Amino acid sequence: IAGITQAPTSQILAAGRRMTLRCTQDMRHNAMYWYRQDLGLGLRLIHYSNTAGTTGKGEVPDGYSVSRANTDDFPLTLASAVPSQTSVYFCASSVDSVRDTQYFGPGTRLTVL
């Protein structure tokens, strides 16, 4: 059982390019989340999904989009990357949006030049 997998592990991207970060969980969790982690700022929520077919905006959604076509996958897309999106991105999931324990993936380190 892998839990949450994220791909790629790391990526260097030219500004203006489109990029999709992948997240897959095998725990059949209903709720999924995307965070970015920046030094001194902790973890900030980008987008979330309480169940397949629904998504919501977090604290820092601008420049990012998500989709939730099924329970397992929750991709995060940067339509036109900018240097300020350089960060470590973590996908997380929880059983549902009521039970609070979130389980995190290993992260994707993204550098936008």
Partner 1 sequence: QQQVKQSPQSLIVQKGGISIINCAYENTAFDYFPWYQQFPGKGPALLIAIRPDVSEKKEGRFTISFNKSAKQFSLHIMDSQPGDSATYFCAASKTGTASKLTFGTGTRLQVTL
User: Which residues of the chain form contacts with partner 1 (CB under 8 A)?
Assistant: 4, 31, 33, 40-45, 48, 50, 56, 58, 90, 92, 94, 96-107
Nearer to partner 1, 17 or 57 (CB): 57
For the CB of residue 48, give the shortest distance to partner 1 in the complex, in Å.
4
Cis peptide preceding 8, ω within 30 of 0: yes
Rounded least distance, CB 15 to partner 1, Å: 26
Instruction: Name the token pair of 67.
Output: 């989709």
Query: Which residue, 17 or 99, is less far from partner 1 as judged by CB?
Result: 99
Q: Of the two residues 9 and 14, which places its CB atom closer to partner 1 in the complex?
A: 9
Output the smallest distance, CB 17 to partner 1, in A: 25
Phi-psi region of 3 (alpha: psi -120 to 50; beta: other; left: phi over 0): left
